[in-house]
Structure 1
């Protein structure tokens, strides 16, 4: 077995096809088939089940996929860590929720770019659950998510606490008036899996409201526009509103500490040797927050 065998194996799993994997890896199908067969003989297990439509991983294949990703990641980190130069270079992939993307990414680029100008940062915005899985699956190196979390294999670094507020149109007299105005209140929210939506739904539940009409949008601007137009209420970090939407026709309402306080943490894998690039990124936030160490879960 060699690392190229594992790359071909991962390609087949990714494309669910030997033919497409061969095309993507610039080789012929017979070579891909032979290398996968070699792996199956070496591990003494069938790695794929084949049917007329596509190729799927077996349970044994799923196990090998887990280790294959770790092996590839370790090799990349080894190359980075043993370079003789003291100048850090390379790519760091960071995930974040939508509000972190809007609020913090510009400053992250400024601060980290000034300290490490030869490192490229690549950001991905997604829901919390997706980002957690992305870190576990090596698709991103670290991610900013709402915490705390308790996931085996992940470590978290406290970043900050921020205050959430409910927002409504500027002519909103009170939240009670909004709730009493309609049989089924309308809420402007991201899709399922969003921490802000979960908090707003918890608040409604505490008010005895279990039926409401969600209007799904996919951006902060969309939420602001819909709320301003009087289509419903929503919830966002107060800093987002004061920093970027202070002049809009919206009104904010405070929440109790339990629902209104959101903790942001930086999560990353704790079962692998950290690359020097990721270590530098984490240390930047340790210095800024004054936190001596992350919380291991």
Structure 2
């Protein structure tokens, strides 16, 4: 009888099309994956994969086995959810996080994970949402907190939170008191998220409809750098006030009150639906609870 671990390795090898990627996903070595697959082929007396230079493809018998392997793994996940407690979960959660979340409630989430799932390690990669979406589809991440939802087959989205964007500048910038019109804002460079992100696109579209001269837009993948540039008076940051709460309280930055309103950014916990995704699903639900708490906004 094939071991469940071997069937799981077989499933991920088939899904990812690579011994190397399956090894990374299963936190093991590539030779160990090859040995497990070879043992399954010996047990069933059939080739399960066609080996290629950089990938593998299922044979007809491999496709037959894949359906059974998926059913076994789904049944195991159902059993664990029904019977086992959170403390029994083991493994590594590969988590992608938007830097906005890092500056707001990520530490609260990590603390809750440590309490609820002490046997789970979290590997964190901070990146922009388009890159994290691709990493989810390539199965290089298990879960991502990103600008969503991502409406693609096979991805599950749980709502997390919305953060507002605001025009934020150093007090010494000559903008005058009270409400500032858009033309006055555009005398200074605008500093915001990278070009391939939703906040940047929304900002560009809004400015394009203003019939004003094209603005100077500085895009940056590092939110910390954007904040530093705004603090130094290089330009006006278009970022969430939540990430600079201390700077606002201390007077190092201020929120400008212009006529044009900026759209909110919505975040989701997104993961790929697959057998054995219980850890990602559980972490996504926990993140939804943490993000719904008003404490991190105070």
TM-score (norm 2): 0.65
Q: Which residue of 2 aligns with 1:278?
A: 281
Q: Which residue of 2 aligns with 1:267?
A: 270
Q: Which residue of 1 aligns with 2:200?
A: 197
Task: Answer with 258-267 or 95-104: which moved more.
Answer: 258-267
CA distance in 2, matches of 1:218, 1:94: 18
Aligned pair partner of 2:227 in 219, 224, 228: 224
Query: How has the CA–CA distance of structure 1 residues 143 and 258 changed in structure 2, closer, same or farther, with 3 Å as cutoff?
Result: farther
Is 1:178 the counterpart of 2:181? The answer is: no
Deviation for aligned residue 1:127:
1.4
Contact in 2 for aligned 1:188/1:223 (Cα 8 Å): yes
Query: How has the CA–CA distance of structure 1 residues 47 and 116 changed in structure 2, closer, same or farther, with 3 Å as cutoff?
Result: closer
Contact in 2 for aligned 1:135/1:141 (Cα 8 Å): yes
Contact in 2 for aligned 1:165/1:255 (Cα 8 Å): no
CA distance in 1, matches of 2:98, 2:215: 25
Q: Which residue of 2 aligns with 1:152?
A: 153
Counterpart mapping for 1:99-248 below 5 A: 99-170=100-171, 171-173=173-175, 174=180, 175-179=182-186, 181=187, 186-209=189-212, 211-243=214-246, 246-247=249-250
Deviation for aligned residue 1:243:
4.4
| SS at 2:161 equivalent | strand
Contact in 1 for aligned 2:98/2:126 (Cα 8 Å): yes
Unaligned runs of at least 5 residues, structure 1 = 16-23, 291-297
Q: Which residue of 2 aligns with 1:293?
A: none
CA distance in 2, matches of 1:113, 1:193: 33
CA distance in 2, matches of 1:124, 1:88: 25
Q: What's the Cα RMSD here? A: 4.7
> Per-residue CA shift, 1:78-102, capped at 9, x if unaligned?
9976997763232222222111122
Query: How has the CA–CA distance of structure 1 residues 86 and 224 changed in structure 2, closer, same or farther, with 3 Å as cutoff?
Result: closer
> Per-residue CA shift, 1:6-55, capped at 9, x if unaligned?
8889696769xxxxxxxx7359x9x9xx99xx9xx947x9764x6xxxx5
Query: How has the CA–CA distance of structure 1 residues 161 and 216 changed in structure 2, closer, same or farther, with 3 Å as cutoff?
Result: closer
Counterpart mapping for 1:86-97 below 5 A: 87-90=87-90, 91-97=92-98
Contact in 1 for aligned 2:156/2:271 (Cα 8 Å): yes
| SS at 1:151 equivalent | coil
| SS at 2:227 equivalent | helix
Query: How has the CA–CA distance of structure 1 residues 86 and 285 changed in structure 2, closer, same or farther, with 3 Å as cutoff?
Result: closer
- How many residues align? The count is 266
Deviation for aligned residue 1:244:
5.6
Q: Which residue of 1 aligns with 2:25?
A: none
| SS at 2:158 equivalent | strand
Q: Which residue of 1 aligns with 2:24?
A: none
CA distance in 1, matches of 2:143, 2:279: 13
| SS at 1:110 equivalent | helix
Contact in 2 for aligned 1:153/1:270 (Cα 8 Å): yes
> Per-residue CA shift, 1:190-230, capped at 9, x if unaligned?
43322332232233223235744443433222111212223
Query: How has the CA–CA distance of structure 1 residues 225 and 130 changed in structure 2, closer, same or farther, with 3 Å as cutoff?
Result: same
Aligned pair partner of 1:25 in 27, 30, 40: 30
